[in-house]
Amino acid sequence: MGSSSSYSAIPGDQSELITGCDEDDHGLAKTKGKNWGIFICWLLGNGCLFGFNGMVTIEDYYVYLFPNYHPTRMITLVYQPFVLTTTALFAYHEAKINTRMRNLARYMLFFLSSFGVIVLDVASSGRGGIAPFVGLCLIAAAFGVADGHVQGGMTGDLSLMCPEFIQSFFAGIAASGAITSALRFLTKAIFENSKDGLRKGAMMFSSIACFFELLCVILYAFVFPKLPIMKFYRTKAASEGSLTVTADLAAGGIKSQPENPLDEEDQAFAERLSNR
């Protein structure tokens, strides 16, 4: 009796040893690359509003170009409906949307919109008129669509990871306004006494915003998914039944497992991951 009980304790000790090793591996994966992840999340949070904040910050230039069209009001009025509509659509279809493609499309759209501000000014030679103003409103609408893509997508994605990621992301969003304001003061001061200084300062600022949005595209597309901590959380989400992280796993160099038929209990668990 005693020998059988002591014998049965041996497998238990081995399983505990194996479990302990697995937990050590998981613990290492959960912390490796964490500091880089926090910093990148801060930059990506900045990128959520950097482009549009830049557009709003140079409104003194647009007031000079379009004094009869109230650009300080119109840019925001055009922007907001597109943000709300896009966010509502993604909130309804969130369980079916590829998260990586959603966020990446947004950062690319923000880059293209920031670049469009420069192209529009160059094409119009810095002159006012109804046509350039309509183009400006279209760019503001594009910013709204991009913002509706990413803020909900990034927030939902990072909320399932370590708390420092989502905290850093929102800290970046909060810092975006202060950074754009400081940069605008700097660019205005540089060209204060030069000919056509208001336009030059605005274009220099727009160029900085455009470059920063391109940096966000590169970070999210090629750097962020390859961090070990990101691979860990994305693999964990996939193992729990998430259908929206397949592209993230592929970007991190992880092949997703082939789908297996789910039994009733697994189907019920997967159903809980959806809002329907």
pLDDT per residue as tens digits for the range 36-75: 999 999 999 999 889 888 888 888 899 999 998 999 899 9
CA–CA distance, 32 with 44 (Å, rounded to integer): 20
Which residues make Cβ contacts (< 8 Å) with residue 24, sequence separation at least 6? none
Exposure string (b/e) for 90-116, b if CB count within 10 Å is 16 or more? beeebeebbbbebbbbbbbbbbbbbbb
CATH number for the domain spanning 99: value is 1.20.1250.20
On whether residue 235 sits in a domain, the answer given is no
On whether residue 25 sits in a domain, the answer given is no
| Host domain of residue 101 | 34-225
On whether residue 10 sits in a domain, the answer given is no
On whether residue 273 sits in a domain, the answer given is no
Global pTM reads 0.78
Q: Which amino acid is at 43?
A: L
On whether residue 269 sits in a domain, the answer given is no
Regions of the chain short of the pLDDT cut 70: 1-30, 95, 241-253, 255-276
Question: What is the pLDDT at residue 114?
Answer: 92
Question: What is the pLDDT at residue 261?
Answer: 41
User: How many domains, in total, are found in the chain?
Assistant: 1
| Residue whose pair of structure tokens reads 């297996």 in the numeric block | 260
DSSP secondary structure letter of residue 252: T
On whether residue 1 sits in a domain, the answer given is no
Question: What is the pLDDT at residue 249?
Answer: 62
On whether residue 221 sits in a domain, the answer given is yes
Question: What is the pLDDT at residue 38?
Answer: 95
On whether residue 243 sits in a domain, the answer given is no
